[in-house]
Amino acid sequence: MQKIEMAKWPRKEIYEFFLGLSDPFYMVSFKQDVSGLYDLCKRKGLSFYSALIWVCDEAINSIEAFRYAMADGQLVLYDKRDPSFTILKKDQENFQIVTMDHDEDLESFCFKAKEKSEKQDFFIDMSRETEDLIYYSCLPWLDLTSLTNEKDLSNEKSRCDSIPRIAWGKYINDGDKKILTISMEVNHRFIDGYHIGLFSKRCAEIIDRLNALEL
């Protein structure tokens, strides 16, 4: 983690503009072609959910803007963000939240996610609830079009929350493609629409790269 001097931050004016808003958060939903990732998971026997989390992790961490945050009043740039995601075990209706380190290898990450999810017997590990996370959720029963998240906007600390929140539902067959709507909620103090567009582009590039490695 690096400490950043606010006065020299190129985004200082934009940050301060949105600083005056009681609710600086906004949500964008967009369609993402995940055909290549789906096919890769089928070939390798990987969890599509875990694999998509990994892809999103890689995309987020490749874009500097997503790694800025305010920590105790100090502007910082995290080296990386780690995933914190919901799971729902078979025959259960109460979900759990699993938080773990990002792994540079897709298959290793999927294996560790499966192992950690199976072993977890509690709702959430609050010791891992730090600011350097990415929150993920999935509603696989629905063709999700958008999703907002709960927040406590009664205090300034909550309004400085920089954690990206990403959700999706089930993929839809569109000819020979599998299309997924991804919903992303971010803080406008740190993230603009440009960065969300870049995130979608990076996800596509990462999926293409994974498949190119299989050739």
pLDDT at 152: 87
pLDDT at 200: 98
pLDDT tens by residue, 27-38: 999 999 999 999
Instruction: Give the whole-angstrom CA distance, residue 73 versus residue 160.
Output: 9
- Kindly indicate the confidence band of residue 158, based on its pLDDT and cuts at 50, 70 and 90: confident
Q: Is the pLDDT assigned to residue 215 strictly greater than 60?
A: no
Is-contact 203 66, C-beta < 8 A? no
Is-contact 162 130, C-beta < 8 A? no
Distances from the Cα of 124 to the Cα of 86, 94, 96, 100, 121, angstroms: 10, 12, 6, 12, 9
- Kindly indicate the confidence band of residue 184, based on its pLDDT and cuts at 50, 70 and 90: very high
Phi, psi (degrees; rounded to nearest 5) at 148:
-105, 170
For domain 2-212, the CATH architecture is 2-Layer Sandwich (3.30)
Distances from the Cα of 211 to the Cα of 162, 188, 206, 215, angstroms: 32, 34, 9, 7
pLDDT tens by residue, 79-137: 999 999 999 999 999 999 999 999 999 999 999 999 999 999 999 999 999 999 999 99
- Kindly indicate the confidence band of residue 155, based on its pLDDT and cuts at 50, 70 and 90: confident
Mean pLDDT of the chain: 95
When pLDDT is averaged across residues 163-189 and rounded to a whole number, the result is 97
The whole-model pTM stands at: 0.96
What residues does 166 pair with on adjacent strands? 136, 184
Element (H or E) spanning 173, and its range?
strand 172-174
- Kindly indicate the confidence band of residue 20, based on its pLDDT and cuts at 50, 70 and 90: confident
Of all residues in the chain, the percent with pLDDT exceeding 70 is 99
CB atoms within 10 A of CB 81: 22
- Kindly indicate the confidence band of residue 189, based on its pLDDT and cuts at 50, 70 and 90: very high
Q: Which residues are CB-contacts of 120 (< 8 A; sequence separation ≥ 6)?
A: 87, 96, 98
Distances from the Cα of 196 to the Cα of 15, 110, 111, 166, 178, angstroms: 17, 25, 28, 11, 21
Q: What is the DSSP string of 26-94?
A: EEEEEEEE-HHHHHHHHHHT--HHHHHHHHHHHHHHTSGGGGEEEETTEEEE-S--EEEEEE--TT--S
